[in-house]
Amino acid sequence: MTPSVLFVCLGNICRSPLAEAAFREEARRVKLDVLVDSAGTGDWHVGSPPDPRAQAVARKNGVDISVLRGRQVNPADFRRFTHIVALDEDNLANLRRLAPVDATAELSLLLDHVEGREGQPVADPYFGDDDGFDFTWADVTAGAQGLAATLRRFRD
């Protein structure tokens, strides 16, 4: 079965699209066949592109996320994806509440996949300065590498 990963933050315009992009790049680098998407637990930014600052940091790191559009998590996601990865504990708690009884996806925090960072959130850069997006990119990249390594172990 091909693994599939959904990254989830609150609005799906900052952290989760950056995590999606970083994971796509890591999966391509390590030749991991995986379906990847992102979503938000809230509906404020459905249909919106990622925050311009998120687009800028992704572009600075060689990735174009301008085509991504915000969407909200839905019940089918809990069966469609093998892994649903939250960017912080609040969103993980919301996902646990939203999960239907027949959910099959494994839930985790992104930084649970980084040794020594288990249980930590990826800081939300939305209300901060532009440099906060650089820190977020570093975190999602580390998480992407750790998650890809985990999925490769299960595949091999």
Convert the pLDDT of each residue in 58-107 to its tens digit.
999 999 999 999 999 999 999 999 999 999 999 999 999 999 999 999 99
CA 48-25-14 angle, 5° bins = 30
Listed in sequence order, the residues at least 6 apart from 153 whose beta carbon sits closer than 8 Å to its beta carbon are: none
Q: Is 80 exceeded by the pLDDT of residue 1?
A: no
Domain locations in the chain? 4-155
Active site residue 28: no
pLDDT band at 153; cut points 50, 70, 90:
confident
CA distance 14 to 98: 21
| Residue 64 pLDDT | 97
Q: Which one from 9, 37, 51, 112 is the annotated catalytic residue?
A: 9
Q: Which of 37, 88, 124, 139 is catalytic?
A: 124
124 is catalytic: yes
Full strand arrangement of the beta sheet holding 4-9: 35-40, 4-9, 83-86, 106-109
7 and 130 Cβ atoms separated by less than 8 Å: no
| Highest CATH level, class, for 4-155 | alpha beta
